[in-house]
Amino acid sequence: MRIKRGGVAVAILIAVLLGLHSTPKLALRTYVFFTGHPIAAVTTGIIDDEYHNQVDKEAFRENKREGLYLNKASG
């Protein structure tokens, strides 16, 4: 019974982590939250970094990434 509960707990933890990283914006918020800035993670706006997305378009396309930044004024 204990092993079953432990397996369920691990499965739930993995599901939550996958859910928190399902989009780039959620992944950035999760990173900011767990690096010690929970208020900023919740209140700060996240904006696409258009300049770096354009300049590094090829590298981002190869790695399926996008540039984002936190904007305190927009939150």
What is the tens place of the pLDDT at every residue in 31-52?
Answer: 889 999 899 888 888 887 777 7
Q: Is residue 61 part of a domain?
A: yes
Q: Is residue 13 part of a domain?
A: no
Q: Is residue 15 part of a domain?
A: no
Query: Across all residues in the chain, what is the average pLDDT?
Result: 81
Provide the number of structural domains found in the chain: 1
Range of the domain at 48: 23-74
User: 69 forms bridges with which residues in the sheet?
Assistant: 47
φ and ψ at residue 46, rounded to 5 degrees: -115, 130
Q: Give pLDDT < 50 ranges for the chain.
A: 74-75
Q: Which pTM does this prediction carry?
A: 0.63
Q: Is residue 11 part of a domain?
A: no
Q: What pLDDT does residue 41 have? A: 87
Structure tokens at 20: 């928190």
Gap between the Cα atoms of 64 and 58, Å rounded: 10
